[in-house]
């Protein structure tokens, strides 16, 4: 089956592409490389270096490739930038996604898999863990823009028959996450600890997140291919929260980092505690996170060590 993956050179999207290729699918990647890297691209996938905000270029790709499935990972995913520049956030996440949905309608895409956020759409939880029925009251513009596209998809299925599935991601971590870009706390801390640099925790460090290894999240995208596209929304998550202080302590032990953490001001728009209930994904997709947090951290550390060693070799 031919699958078009937006953001397929990015951290999570590239793992999804790898899994699709591994299972024999024909994959087309669209990515503007603003946060993704050419080095992440699977050589078996055809690559189009374009921006989803360009409707004409996007339509040309659809007309030529005629994908049966669209997997939409491309996004402005930096919460801080969404707060400081909400127009850019909406232009990318809402208008860019709408360009893609229009192409999916026009070229008769069979299934649209949309990556939303479980970490940002629910806001400060009324109860934990959050299931898909939890009220949606985001505290940041990123959460608003990602959720808005879910409504567009509902409209396009109701009015035009566009089949879709929504995956609401938790905090994803693992190899290929950029510690210098729009990374999560695991990548940032890992990069700083391996370089023996100071680590600063925003706020008191007791904010809790649901951390799931990237390969586990990628596997949900493979399982979603069999979901039928009936407009279902699935949380992905471990069902438990891990505090930033716990992330620091675990990474400190695994990297033999000797410095104490520093603490800075809390970030605007940041949810205090969020973790997700994912029993619907277990029942209907057969999905479970299989990688323990410590095992995932070990793989992440090994990746960053390998990347740094390769940089040293190049420099020599």
The residues assigned a catalytic role are 142
CA 20 distance to own-chain centroid: 16
Q: Which residues contact 30 (CB under 8 A, 6 or more apart)?
A: 4, 5, 6, 7, 8, 48, 50, 52, 58, 61, 74
Q: Provide the token pair at 166.
A: 């929504």
Q: Which residues contact 204 (CB under 8 A, 6 or more apart)?
A: 263, 266
């Amino acid at each position: 089956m031919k699958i078009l993956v937006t953001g397929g050179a990015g951290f999570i999207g590239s793992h999804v592409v790898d899994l699709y290729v591994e299972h024999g699918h024909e994959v087309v990647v669209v990515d503007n490389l603003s946060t993704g890297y050419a080095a992440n691209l699977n050589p078996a996938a055809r690559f189009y270096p374009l921006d989803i905000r360009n409707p004409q270029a996007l339509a040309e790709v659809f007309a030529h490739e005629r994908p049966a499935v669209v997997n939409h990972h491309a996004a402005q995913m930096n919460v801080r930038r969404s707060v400081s520049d909400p127009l850019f956030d909406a232009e990318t996440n809402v208008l860019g996604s709408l360009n893609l949905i229009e192409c999916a309608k026009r070229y008769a895409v069979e299934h649209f898999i949309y990556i939303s956020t479980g970490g940002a759409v629910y806001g400060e939880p009324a109860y934990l863990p959050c299931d898909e029925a939890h009220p949606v009251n985001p505290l940041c513009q990123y959460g608003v823009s990602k959720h808005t596209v879910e409504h567009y998809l509902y409209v396009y299925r109701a009015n035009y028959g566009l089949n879709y599935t929504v995956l609401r991601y938790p905090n994803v971590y693992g190899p290929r996450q950029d510690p210098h870009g729009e990374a999560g706390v695991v990548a940032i801390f890992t990069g700083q600890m391996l370089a023996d640099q100071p680590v600063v925790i925003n706020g008191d460090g007791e904010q809790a997140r649901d951390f799931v290894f990237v390969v586990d999240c990628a596997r949900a995208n493979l399982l979603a291919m069999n979901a039928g596209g009936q407009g279902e929304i699935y949380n992905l998550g471990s069902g438990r929260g891990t505090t930033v202080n716990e992330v620091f302590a675990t990474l400190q032990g695994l990297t033999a980092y000797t410095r104490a953490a520093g603490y800075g001001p809390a970030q605007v728009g940041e949810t205090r505690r969020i973790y997700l209930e994912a029993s619907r994904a277990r029942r209907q997709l057969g999905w479970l996170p299989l990688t323990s947090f410590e095992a995932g951290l070990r793989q992440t550390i090994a990746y960053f060590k390998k990347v740094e060693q390769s940089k040293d070799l190049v420099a020599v």
